[in-house]
């Protein structure tokens, strides 16, 4: 039964990012780039406006059980194979190095986990794949034992795809990442910083930001005096103010500094600042705190995110970087007396450092050997060598959006930067960089295979455009179109025709195999609403026919040269407040009947036309009221279709997969034992149409006929999977993950020999059930 929540709840600003055709944009080139989008969160939280984190954790447990069974089957079945890319990268949130040498680096990624390099970033190994959250907020290394590290989960930056969920607290390894122990603090959700007392490493301080949406008393500064076994909250400002940064005096560790950030999202607004933002200091190891105000912005609604850094060589020197409540740059301040008084540096040249979304950055670093050498991090990296009296760009040739910077204490010329494009290593004090290869952390929204040349893989990515490999190699992927990348389709008949998208429906077409692209929106009304990931569908039988979704469905019969609308507004309409919502999210053209097309919307509607678009019928009355992620049809029967949903339940269990056998007149819940997490895609095996594969936030699962769902195969990292494609001739399943690049799986159907059948029959009624027996009967070897 369908339950309407009434008003539209839209959970992001939804402003489009400008196209990013290179990694070396200057601030002037990106002044129209706005907030990193909260599309991930919106679809999972709609319509109640919140994610039930208890249900998410339960889904993780369900998935872990099914994945463990897949591992136990691995001797008899194919496993997931990494497909690349290694050379594109993705968002890095924190970096630390082993100071006892110049080769070991740990890098935390936004949604792909923790990686370790022992050769200064030339090669990497993953170190966190099976934990409940692969979203890394911060990393800290024990001062006397480089094999002991702490990882705080939950990316703290205030927007972006990986903010689907918070993290799951703090983890510790004592064997350099081989194994991990969970240390609690789950309810802090987003952990900004971990600082360790160098004199007594059993004492740790942690910055907790709390929930992004909703008031939360779990925000603030936490302290442990026993290495993380237990915690106490030692600084709490308000239920909307968390700790975004921390610093500890290296030789007088009773002096602790905390940057507090007032931050809260709601269904209709974003507050990324306020009067509770400020810098605090403790002189008694965290027992008591005082706000530092002399010379600093304070008690103002215009203050935003703050970053802080303490000089290792002169601990009386600290720098703090400020954004305003909107996100514009608001100054860098310096103290030379431990925080008693502050003065603003000569930072007028940095006015474009943050553009308008400083809450996405907010960090500053001091050379550990020279308190006058400072790095300010925003869209670019700026460096001062004279205590802030002047600044110059120190990020030439690297990707924008800087989140992490490590300066080696034994050689300040070794600088390692982390940004939305990955890890970059400089050996000359940030004068130039080399991009670190072999990091499999690309966040894919979509994936595609060239039907004629299946080694050619394509995908649309977060902040790294549309990319492809033409060889199938792991490290030769190239960007072919900019912006955030979304749907990309290759014509199966003539692969010179390629279609790609940037955010909010920026549709383009290529007639020369992707060498160049032309606008492909002629006929699409510029006033229409476009989803962040606007759906694009190719007719399965006539590749010159395409469908595109705004709030209505458009059709092209000439390979996207022009379009005509074939539906009315299929949503509940444009919500108030100018926020983009009420859009088509998925389109499915039936292979068995060219007149049948299905469409789903972000506000919970599913529609079908059976006459090519003249008449549309709303077929969603029996479905839960959730964001529709995908509609798929049976290749042989247009009346058989499948719908997948995002979102979480409030009280009663929420199914996420439905099937109809009558074009939507009625629906059957086929979710069964599937983990109760958002499902992002569903594909029907064209050779065995009773076999279904789904991509969910907790993995890829398969259902064969009447059997239960099971993990599709072993060894896929614990990362959301957003898109799937099957290449029928090679029987390859392609998965686009949001944080760990792409994987493939051989789904060839094994045949059953007479001897195998005879050996299995004695187990009838025990391990062999009806579904397995039917499968064996139907799949004999020739």
> Which CATH fold topology does 89-435 show?
Methylamine Dehydrogenase; Chain H (2.130.10)
418-451 pLDDT per residue, tens: 999 999 999 999 999 999 999 999 999 999 999 9
Q: What is the pLDDT of residue 482?
A: 94
Q: What is the pLDDT of residue 7?
A: 28
- Which of 313, 314, 311, 235 lies closest to 279 in space, CA to CA? 235
CATH 2.130.10.10 for domain 444-749:
yes
Q: What is the pLDDT of residue 5?
A: 33
**N-terminal to C-terminal alpha carbon distance within the chain:** 47
How many CB atoms sit inside 10 A of residue 770's CB?
12
591-620 pLDDT per residue, tens: 999 999 999 999 999 999 999 999 999 999
User: CA-to-CA distance for 338 and 409, rounded, in angstroms?
Assistant: 21
Q: What is the pLDDT of residue 270?
A: 74
Reduced to 3 states, what is the DSSP secondary structure of residue 722? Answer: strand
User: CA-to-CA distance for 644 and 676, rounded, in angstroms?
Assistant: 12
Structure tokens at 138: 């911060």
Residue 721 phi, psi dihedral angles, 5° rounding: -115, 125
User: CA-to-CA distance for 569 and 547, rounded, in angstroms?
Assistant: 15
- Which of 737, 759, 735, 755 lies closest to 745 in space, CA to CA? 735
User: CA-to-CA distance for 147 and 639, rounded, in angstroms?
Assistant: 58
Full 3-state SS string of 28-50: HHHCCCCCCCCHHHHHHHCCCCC
Strands 170-173 and 457-461: unpaired
For the beta sheet containing 506-510, the strands, ordered from the edge strand earlier in sequence to the opposite edge, are 488-490, 498-502, 506-510, 518-519
- Which of 737, 741, 700 lies closest to 719 in space, CA to CA? 737
Extract the residue ranges of the chain whose pLDDT is less than 70.
1-37, 74-75, 159-164, 266-269, 576-579, 750-751, 764-779, 781-782
Q: What is the pLDDT of residue 771?
A: 61
**Residues 141, 157 contacting (CB under 8 angstroms):** no
Structure tokens at 490: 């290759």
Q: What is the pLDDT of residue 267?
A: 53
- Which of 733, 757, 715 lies closest to 72 in space, CA to CA? 715
User: CA-to-CA distance for 402 and 387, rounded, in angstroms?
Assistant: 21
User: CA-to-CA distance for 508 and 494, rounded, in angstroms?
Assistant: 17
The reply to whether domains 89-435 and 444-749 share a CATH topology is yes
Q: What is the pLDDT of residue 25?
A: 30
Q: What is the pLDDT of residue 339?
A: 98
Name the DSSP class of 19: P
User: CA-to-CA distance for 509 and 500, rounded, in angstroms?
Assistant: 6
Reduced to 3 states, what is the DSSP secondary structure of residue 60? Answer: helix
| Per-domain boundaries in the chain | 89-435, 444-749, 752-782
Question: What residues contact 492, with CB distance under 8 A and at least 6 apart?
Answer: 451, 452, 543
User: CA-to-CA distance for 357 and 12, rounded, in angstroms?
Assistant: 14
User: CA-to-CA distance for 615 and 302, rounded, in angstroms?
Assistant: 52
User: CA-to-CA distance for 500 and 533, rounded, in angstroms?
Assistant: 11
DSSP one-letter string for 163-191: GGS----EEEESSTTSS-EE---GGG-SE
């Amino acid at each position: 039964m369908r339950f309407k929540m009434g008003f539209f709840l839209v959970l992001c600003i939804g402003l489009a990012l400008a196209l990013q055709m290179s990694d070396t944009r200057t601030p002037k080139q990106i002044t129209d780039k706005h907030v990193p989008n909260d599309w991930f969160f919106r679809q999972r939280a709609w319509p109640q406006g919140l994610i039930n984190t208890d249900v998410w954790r339960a889904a993780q447990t369900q998935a872990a059980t099914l994945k463990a069974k897949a591992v136990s089957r691995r001797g008899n079945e194919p496993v997931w194979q990494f497909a690349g890319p290694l050379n594109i990268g993705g968002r890095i949130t924190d970096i630390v190095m082993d100071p006892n040498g110049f080769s070991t680096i740990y890098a935390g990624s936004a949604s792909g986990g923790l990686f370790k390099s022992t050769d200064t970033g030339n090669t990497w190994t993953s170190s966190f794949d099976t934990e409940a959250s692969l979203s890394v907020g911060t990393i800290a290394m024990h001062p006397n034992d480089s094999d002991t590290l702490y990882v705080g989960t939950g990316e703290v930056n205030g927007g972006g795809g990986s903010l689907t969920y918070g993290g799951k607290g703090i983890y510790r390894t004592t064997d350099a990442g081989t194994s991990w122990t969970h240390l609690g603090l789950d309810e802090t959700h987003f952990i900004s910083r971990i600082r360790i007392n160098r004199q007594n490493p059993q004492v740790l301080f942690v910055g907790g930001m709390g929930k992004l949406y909703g008031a939360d008393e779990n925000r603030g500064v936490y302290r442990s005096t026993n290495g993380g076994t237990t915690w106490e909250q030692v600084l709490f400002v308000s239920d909307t103010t968390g700790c975004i940064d921390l610093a500890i005096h290296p030789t007088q560790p009773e002096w602790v500094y905390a940057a507090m950030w007032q931050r809260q999202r709601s269904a209709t607004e974003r507050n990324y600042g306020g009067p509770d933002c400020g810098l605090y200091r403790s002189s008694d190891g965290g027992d008591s705190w005082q706000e530092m105000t002399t010379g600093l912005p304070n008690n103002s609604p215009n203050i935003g995110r703050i970053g802080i850094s303490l000089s290792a060589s002169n601990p009386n020197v600290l720098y703090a970087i400020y954004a305003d409540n909107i996100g514009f740059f608001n100054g860098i301040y310096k103290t030379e007396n431990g925080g008693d008084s502050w003065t603003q540096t000569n930072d007028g040249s940095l006015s474009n450092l943050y553009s308008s979304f400083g809450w996405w950055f907010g960090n500053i670093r001091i050379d550990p050997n020279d308190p006058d050498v400072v790095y300010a991090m925003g869209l670019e990296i700026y460096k001062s060598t004279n205590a802030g009296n002047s600044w110059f760009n120190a990020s030439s040739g690297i990707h924008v959006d800087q989140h992490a910077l490590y300066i080696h204490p034994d050689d300040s010329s070794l600088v390692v930067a982390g940004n939305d494009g990955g890890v970059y290593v400089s050996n000359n004090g940030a004068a130039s960089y080399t991009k670190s290869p072999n990091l499999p952390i690309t966040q894919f929204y979509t994936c595609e295979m060239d039907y004629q040349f299946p080694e050619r893989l394509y995908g649309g990515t977060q902040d790294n455009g549309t990319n492809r490999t033409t060889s199938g190699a792991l490290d030769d992927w190239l960007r072919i179109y900019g912006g955030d990348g979304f749907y990309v389709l290759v014509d199966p008949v003539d692969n010179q025709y390629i279609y790609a998208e940037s955010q909010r429906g920026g549709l383009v077409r290529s007639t020369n195999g992707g060498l160049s692209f032309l606008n492909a929106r002629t006929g699409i009304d510029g006033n229409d609403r476009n989803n962040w990931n606007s759906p694009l569908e190719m007719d399965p039988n006539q590749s010159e026919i395409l469908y595109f979704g705004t709030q209505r469905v458009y059709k092209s019969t000439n390979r996207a040269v022009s379009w005509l609308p074939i539906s009315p507004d299929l949503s509940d309409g444009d919500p108030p407040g100018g926020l983009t919502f009420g859009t088509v999210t998925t389109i499915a053209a039936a292979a068995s009947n060219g007149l049948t097309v299905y469409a789903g919307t972000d506000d919970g509607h599913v529609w079908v036309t059976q006459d090519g678009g003249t008449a549309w019928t709303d077929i969603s009355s029996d479905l839960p009221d959730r964001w529709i992620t995908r509609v798929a049809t049976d290749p042989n029967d247009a009346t058989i279709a499948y719908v997948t949903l995002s979102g979480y339940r409030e009280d009663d269990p929420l199914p996420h997969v439905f099937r109809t056998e009558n074009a939507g007149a009625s629906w059957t819940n086929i979710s069964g034992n599937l983990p109760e997490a958002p499902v992002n895609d569903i594909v029907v095996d064209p050779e065995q149409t009773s076999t279904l594969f789904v991509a969910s936030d907790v993995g890829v699962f398969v259902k064969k006929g009447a059997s239960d769902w099971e993990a599709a195969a072993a060894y896929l990292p614990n990362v959301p999977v957003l898109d799937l494609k099957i290449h029928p001739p090679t029987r390859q399943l392609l998965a686009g993950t949001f944080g760990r690049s792409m994987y493939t799986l051989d789904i060839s159907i094994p045949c059953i020999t007479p001897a195998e059948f005879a050996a299995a029959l004695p187990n009838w009624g025990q391990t062999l059930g009806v579904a397995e027996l039917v499968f064996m009967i139907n799949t004999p070897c020739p």
